[in-house]
Amino acid sequence: AQTVTQSQPEMSVQEAETVTLSCTYDTSESNYYLFWYKQPPSRQMILVIRQEAYKQQNATENRFSVNFQKAAKSFSLKISDSQLGDTAMYFCASGGATNKLIFGTGTLLAVQP
Amino acid sequence: KAGVTQTPRYLIKTRGQQVTLSCSPISGHRSVSWYQQTPGQGLQFLFEYFSETQRNKGNFPGRFSGRQFSNSRSEMNVSTLELGDSALYLCASSLARTAQETQYFGPGTRLLVL
């Protein structure tokens, strides 16, 4: 069975600081993808960043970067220079040969002014 | 391009009724997936439609069904509603069927079953 685990239900960070959200996964797919989605209080899910498992280089998108440790099945998200607009629920997800995504339980991130 | 749209945004039903939710994907996207989001179970995959055919199905009872039209718009139906069906229902669209293609989510339909 494919699983995604987020062990931090809530986190808080000061504005302009850096925060890291943790995620571990397990999948039977040989070619898979990992994602971090953001769900602000308005509820629209937005893709933050994606990682293709066959790529060794960690993905980065502006202030967002990941630490992908394939052997450890770990996929953490680092948010640098946190902004108030980063306040949201963050979901880690895995996908593979189909469009079925397996989501973790989410981490509620609060950015404090 | 317009994003994924879902209608209605909010819905209140009573137990035993049925409900139909609609999802319009991004223009050109042929795959539509549905997810149920609840505080207790999190985000769970319901099913995926591609080219008017259901391609993948999650672990939900047969009361949950869906369909896709030739213009890629999709509907999901829940019959004989139960209190536990209260949830946010999200649809997502993408160009193709694999996770290689980014899925874009709609704002969701909030269903409350009384």
pLDDT digits (tens, 9 = 90+) for A23-51: 999 998 888 999 999 999 877 899 999 99
What average pLDDT does the structure give for chain B?
95
Mutate to test the interface with B, among A99, A102, A105 (most CBs of B within 10 A): A99
Q: Distance between CA B32 and CA A31 in Å, rounded?
A: 21
Confidence at residue B15, expressed as pLDDT on a 0 to 100 scale: 97
Helix, strand, coil proportions of chain A in percent (round to 5)? 5, 50, 45
* For A51, nearest residue in chain B (alpha carbons): B100
Helix (H/G/I), strand (E/B), else coil: A85: helix
Confidence at residue A27, expressed as pLDDT on a 0 to 100 scale: 92
Residue-wise pLDDT tens digits, B48-75: 999 999 999 999 999 999 999 999 999 9
Cβ-Cβ contacts under 8 Å, B45 against chain A: 100-102
- Rounded alpha-carbon distances, angstroms, from residue B24 to B87, B91, B108: 19, 9, 11
Q: Are A38 and A22 in contact (CB under 8 A)?
A: no
Of A91, A96, A105, the CB nearest to B99: A96
Of A42, A97, A101, the CB nearest to B103: A101
Q: Distance between CA B54 and CA B68 in Å, rounded?
A: 8
Per-residue pLDDT of chain A (113 residues; tens, 9 = 90+): 789 999 999 999 999 999 999 999 999 888 899 999 999 987 789 999 999 999 889 999 999 999 999 999 999 999 999 999 999 999 999 998 888 999 999 999 999 99
Cβ-Cβ contacts under 8 Å, B105 against chain A: 37, 44-46
